[in-house]
Copies of this chain bind each other. A is one copy, B any other.
């Protein structure tokens, strides 16, 4: 029988997360207070985060223990399988070996529960009763709703209005797990009201929804905020992906030459790649490629400077490649990749040339996704299709060059709840957007000077 899955035994599930801050040649510049523009301290974050997560946010300790309570829930779907994509390789006729880690096996269908579960755990431990968070297409909101029910926390999700209306399935999933879902901008928060006054039919954006959730958490004592990407502790939690993958590569006696991940806020890419990047920092030959949409080309077209994480300017200023915090990306189907900036960790590593980046239009990504679905079976999330496009192009280049190469990508989630996007693609209705350079320049002019 052909070996397709590399299954890590449950007892080998990681007991610690990997913190790349212990190994980075240059640490990201510190986040700044949105008002004073001075570096923030733990006390600035404590109104919305529990101290355990704040400590992880700033820690430079290389390995951080995963609590047993978290591992017990991880065990519902982890370790996730590493696949050798024999059938995709054959379909492409490539000499390259393609591996992918499949994170769609989680109950929420994506990699997001890797961090929602520990976030819920630490908040519960700190006596928090409710979590306020935001979601774009709904992957993060689903993951947080799932984590809430696992640890007995109420969850309020501010969901970008255009997704709330167009993608009812993930909203229903969140409600099935017991969460309350508010279309954003909402009239519940001041940030939401302000946006609606300016534009009553605002489709919303991730930046606006973050403002609403942060405000909700900051104004309720029993409520904290949770973020599904961008922050250091989020990427830390996601490293279970890469740590498992490294062990799985060891099991088959292989090692990637190239790692590909889609990049919105950076958490699935970071999670899959950081444990390998440790080796690269220590001299190993390895390429890491962040794939982003041409409609939201943060790394490939943004500027590396301080910007807010949200639209209203409530969050600390972070050093990121950004398109400007009021950037309003077109409504592509990969909702999870529509963030105006990227994780400071990914940005610093990109700046230091440890990570490369490439941007694709969505039709090229759906084409790759269908090639994948027809060969490997799994229908990928639109976000993940960007990683597949990148991996396929690497494999085709290996074919042209007649080179053996080992490609590893993270299949961050399945596309069951994004099938209307496939229908649009199959009907030829999808368009590509390349965000115009002039508009990016305009948006960047408005950035705060620090």
Contact with B along A352-366 (1 / 0, CB 8 A): 000000000000000
Which residues in B have their C-beta under 8 angstroms from that of A420?
A: 168-169, 172
| Interface assignment of A417: CB less than 8 Å from any CB of chain B | yes
Which residues in B have their C-beta under 8 angstroms from that of A126?
A: none
Pairwise interchain contact B422-A4, C-beta atoms closer than 8 A:
no
> A3, A10, A106 — which one has the most chain B CB atoms within 10 A of its CB?
A10
Stretch at the interface among A214-222, A272-280, A295-303, A372-380: A372-380
Pairwise interchain contact B4-A75, C-beta atoms closer than 8 A:
yes
Pairwise interchain contact A377-B146, C-beta atoms closer than 8 A:
yes
Interchain CB contact (< 8 A) of A423 among B9, B71, B149, B175? B175
Interchain CB contact (< 8 A) of A72 among B1, B83, B149, B177? B1
How distant is A381 from chain B, measured CB to nearest CB, in Å? 12
Interface size class of A (residues with CB under 8 A): 35 or more
Pairwise interchain contact A168-B377, C-beta atoms closer than 8 A:
no
| Interface assignment of A416: CB less than 8 Å from any CB of chain B | yes
Give A168 to B422 CA distance when docked, in angstroms: 11
Contact with B along A92-111 (1 / 0, CB 8 A): 00000000000001111100
Pairwise interchain contact A5-B177, C-beta atoms closer than 8 A:
no
Which residues in B have their C-beta under 8 angstroms from that of A71?
A: 1
| Interface assignment of A176: CB less than 8 Å from any CB of chain B | yes
Interchain CB contact (< 8 A) of A176 among B106, B150, B417, B426? B426
| Interface assignment of A419: CB less than 8 Å from any CB of chain B | yes
Pairwise interchain contact B376-A76, C-beta atoms closer than 8 A:
yes
Give A379 to B176 CA distance when docked, in angstroms: 8
Pairwise interchain contact B177-A374, C-beta atoms closer than 8 A:
yes
Name the residue of chain B whose CB is nearest to the CB of A373.
B176
Pairwise interchain contact B379-A419, C-beta atoms closer than 8 A:
no
Contact with B along A171-187 (1 / 0, CB 8 A): 01101111000000000
A contact residues vs B (CB 8 Å cutoff) = 1-5, 7, 9-10, 13, 68, 71-73, 75-77, 83, 87, 105-109, 146, 149-150, 168-169, 172-173, 175-178, 370, 373-379, 414, 416-417, 419-420, 422-423, 426
3 residue pairs, one from A and one from B, having the closest CB atoms: A107-B377, A416-B416, A172-B419
A-B contact pairs, 8 of them (CB 8 A): A3-B10, A5-B10, A7-B10, A168-B423, A172-B423, A173-B379, A176-B370, A177-B379
Task: Using A107-B379, A149-B375, A176-B422 as known contacts, list a sample of 19 further A-B pairs with CB atoms less than 8 Å apart, ordered by residue number in A.
Answer: A1-B68, A1-B75, A5-B75, A5-B76, A76-B376, A105-B105, A106-B377, A107-B376, A109-B416, A172-B422, A173-B379, A173-B419, A173-B422, A175-B422, A175-B423, A175-B426, A176-B373, A176-B419, A176-B426
